[in-house]
């Protein structure tokens, strides 16, 4: 039987891991400058955590969660996103007792049973941040600025910053009523899922991807026209902050996001370079979530970046040199294998990426292997040279070679020329 990985779950091979490291390194460096600190939460949580935060009637919870019973019959789920887990950790570990703001970042795999396609996987990776304790729109503006700087570091250009407001507990009900009246006339033309959503959570209907529903709903009322004074002020000040920071954005009143916990600001960063799955990052404010899980009333906001999509963009526009085995140690002659091993250990202790032959190969075959591994340097431990405490060296790319003492070789390797 041939055993392959599961559909929608991919191996990340050494050939491209350097791009992942590069992106992760930039995220860590930048986010820590903004005083975000790393948090690691479990991949497996009680299913109820996601049900109660993301929302029962969302696609993620309804059809995409990996849910199963553990050996004690408890319903558990592989995390489909990071926000709910960070909120749980924030409350469970009483992190609200620490001074505000509390800012966290995370990176790792998420799981959604979606139909796989380009840029959409069942196991995918996010780099996310969550910021707790501040209610002013300066937070969302700072998140967007940080994202912009992140993409600039990676040299990713031509991104669209789309923003919207989803209102709050006060103003959303009147929008919902209006939407309900509007949808009532169209419900017969909607898909089965939307007909069910229509009564339980009409906002979810706006999120439907079915072409017929999209077409039927093209002139729905927008929530942005129903915001209460506080939400409108918040949205306007947010935009003012973006303008002050010279960040170009568009208000897209159609953004509703596929998760129920958002209040007020939501945003998506999109690109035209990836086809249908065009969002590279998305997020927003969720001022009620901590309280709804039994924590103190705590305003919060965050975002998550889709790693696979960013990796794809980095592949297209930047040549990031993969790390290569740097030095290959070859040997020839009586007793030289042992001496070569000592040299390998010494080079590795000095921090050089070092590879060698693990079996007894002819010098010719060792050199062939070094060539295939694309090393930059070969050092040959040969009997004659060894008697004089010398080593032969070869620079593969330039084709130059010579003989030198180890101190001299180390010096050249360190200086890289
Ligand atoms: P989300 O929009 O569901 O938000 O996901 C964020 C990003 O993850 C998307 O923009 C996309 O780039 C990537 N993504 C989502 N699903 C997939 C998939 N199946 N395959 C590949 N990439 C995918 C959240 O998850 C929120 N927790 C973001 C947030 C944090 N809001 C507040 N704080």
Q: Is 355 helix (H, G, I), strand (E, B) or coil?
A: strand
376 Cα to the center of ligand 1, angstroms: 40
Q: Which pLDDT score, from 0 to 100, does residue 261 have?
A: 95
- Strand-pairing partners, residue 329, are 356, 379
Q: What is the pLDDT of residue 209?
A: 78
Domain boundary among 285, 317, 349: 317
Domain that holds residue 332: 327-416
Domain boundary among 291, 317, 343: 317
Q: Which of 106, 282, 288 to mutate to test the pocket of ligand 1 (most atoms within 8 A of CB)?
A: 282
* pLDDT block averages, 10 residues each, the chain of length 417: 94 93 97 98 98 90 95 98 98 97 98 95 98 97 98 95 96 92 90 86 82 87 95 98 97 90 97 89 98 97 98 81 81 94 95 93 95 94 95 92 93 78
Residue nearest to atom 13 of ligand 1 (CA): 306
**9 ligand 1 Cβ < 6 A:** no
User: Is there a single domain that holds both residue 256 and residue 347?
Assistant: no
Could you tell me the distance, in angstroms and rounded to a whole number, from the CA of residue 126 to the centre of ligand 1? Answer: 7
Asked whether the beta carbons of 164 and 263 are under 8 A apart, the reply is no
**What pLDDT shows up at residue 320?**
72
pLDDT at residue 202 in the model = 86
Q: Are residues 39 and 59 in the same domain?
A: yes
Determine, yes or no, domain membership for 222: no
Report yes or no on 404 lying in a domain: yes
Residues 6+ apart with CB under 8 A from 188: none
Same structural domain, 28 and 57: yes
Atom of ligand 1 nearest to the CA of 128: 30
Q: Are the C-beta atoms of residues 54 and 84 closer than 8 Å to each other?
A: yes
Residue 380 maps to which CATH number? Answer: 3.40.50.800
Whether residue 18 has its Cβ less than 6 Å from ligand 1:
no
Q: Are residues 291 and 349 in the same domain?
A: no
Instruction: Report pLDDT for 408.
Output: 93
Whether 194 is covered by a domain: the verdict is: no
The answer to whether residue 396 is domain-embedded is: yes
Evaluate whether residue 48 is within a structural domain: yes
CA 149 to chain centroid: 15
Looking at the structure of the chain, the number of domains it has is 2
CA 368, CA 371: separation in Å to the nearest integer?
5
In angstroms, how far apart are the furthest CA atoms of the chain?
94
Give first-to-last CA distance, the chain, whole Å: 51
pLDDT digits (tens, 9 = 90+) for 216-236: 888 889 999 999 999 999 999
CA separation for the pair 214, 205 (Å, rounded): 9
Q: Is the peptide bond before 21 cis (omega within 30 degrees of 0)?
A: no
328 forms beta bridges with 355, 378
Task: Look up tokens 């299913």; give the residue.
Answer: 47
60 lines ligand 1 (CB under 6 A): no
What 3-state DSSP class applies to 327? Answer: strand
Helix ranges (DSSP H) in 275-335: 289-292, 307-317
Burial state string for 36-46 with b = 16 or more CB within 10 A and e = fewer than 16: beebebeeebe
Asked if residue 100 and residue 145 are part of one domain, the reply reads yes
Domain match, 291 and 333 both: no
Alpha-carbon distance of 306 to 119, in angstroms, equals 9
Does residue 384 sit within a domain?
yes
pLDDT for res 325: 65
User: Quick check: CB of 130 below 6 Å from ligand 1?
Assistant: yes
Regarding whether 129 and 76 lie in a shared domain, the answer is yes
> Is 123 contained in some domain?
yes
**Cα of 110 to ligand 1 centre, how many Å?**
9
Q: How far is the CA of 303 from the centre of ligand 1 (A)?
A: 8
The CA distances from residue 390 to 143, 275, 367, 401, 405, in Å, are 57, 58, 19, 13, 5
Q: What is the pLDDT of residue 318?
A: 61
Same domain, 298 and 408: no
Supply the DSSP string of 33-71, one letter for each residue: HTT-EE----SEEEHHHHHHHH-TTSHIIIII--EEE-T
Residues 6+ apart with CB under 8 A from 297: 290, 291
Q: Please enumerate in sequence order all residues whose Cβ is within 8 A of that of 172, keeping only pairs 6 or more positions apart, or say none.
A: 166, 203, 223, 226
DSSP secondary structure letters along 238-287: HHHHHHHTT---EE-TT---S-TT--SEEEEEEESSSTT--EEEEEEE-T
* Domain finish residue from 317, 352, 385: 317
Residue 242 inside a domain? The answer is yes
Q: Are 135 and 286 in contact (CB under 8 A)?
A: no
């Amino acid at each position: 039987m041939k055993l392959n990985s599961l559909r929608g779950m991919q191996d990340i091979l050494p050939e491209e891991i350097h791009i992942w490291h590069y992106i992760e390194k930039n995220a860590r460096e930048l986010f820590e400058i903004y005083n975000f600190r790393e948090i690691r939460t479990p991949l497996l949580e009680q299913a109820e955590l996601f049900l109660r935060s993301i929302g029962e009637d969302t696609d993620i919870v309804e059809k995409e969660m990996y849910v199963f019973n553990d050996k004690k019959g408890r319903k558990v789920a592989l995390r489909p996103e990071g926000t709910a887990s960070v909120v749980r950790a924030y409350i469970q570990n009483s992190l609200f007792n620490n001074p505000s703001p509390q800012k966290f970042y995370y990176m790792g795999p998420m799981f959604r049973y979606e139909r796989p396609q380009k840029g959409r996987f069942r196991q995918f990776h996010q780099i996310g941040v969550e910021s707790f304790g501040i209610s002013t729109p300066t937070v969302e503006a700072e998140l967007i600025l940080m994202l912009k700087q992140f993409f600039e570091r990676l040299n990713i250009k031509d991104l669209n910053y789309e923003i919207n407001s989803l209102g709050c507990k006060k103003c959303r009900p009147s929008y919902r009523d209006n939407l309900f009246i509007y949808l009532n006339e169209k419900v017969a033309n909607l898909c089965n899922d939307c007909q069910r959503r229509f009564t339980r959570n009409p906002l979810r209907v706006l999120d439907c991807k079915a072409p017929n529903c999209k077409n039927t709903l093209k002139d729905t009322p927008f929530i942005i026209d129903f915001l209460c004074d506080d939400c409108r002020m918040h949205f306007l000040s947010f935009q003012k902050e973006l303008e002050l920071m010279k960040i170009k954005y568009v208000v897209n009143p159609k953004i509703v996001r596929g998760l129920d916990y958002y209040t007020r600001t939501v945003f998506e960063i999109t690109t035209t370079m990836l086809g249908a799955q065009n969002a590279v990052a998305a997020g927003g404010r969720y001022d009620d979530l901590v309280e709804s899980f039994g924590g103190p009333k705590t305003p919060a906001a965050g975002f998550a970046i889709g790693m696979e999509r960013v990796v794809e963009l980095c592949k297209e526009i930047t040549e990031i040199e993969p790390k290569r085995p740097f030095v290959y140690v070859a040997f020839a002659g009586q007793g030289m294998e042992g001496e070569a091993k000592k040299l390998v250990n010494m080079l590795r202790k000095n921090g050089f990426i070092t590879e060698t032959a693990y079996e007894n190969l002819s010098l010719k075959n060792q050199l062939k292997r070094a060539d295939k591994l694309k090393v930059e340097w070969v050092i040959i431990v040969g009997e004659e040279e060894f008697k004089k405490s010398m080593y032969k060296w070869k620079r593969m790319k330039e084709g130059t070679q010579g003989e030198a003492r180890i101190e001299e070789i180390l010096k050249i390797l360190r200086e890289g020329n």
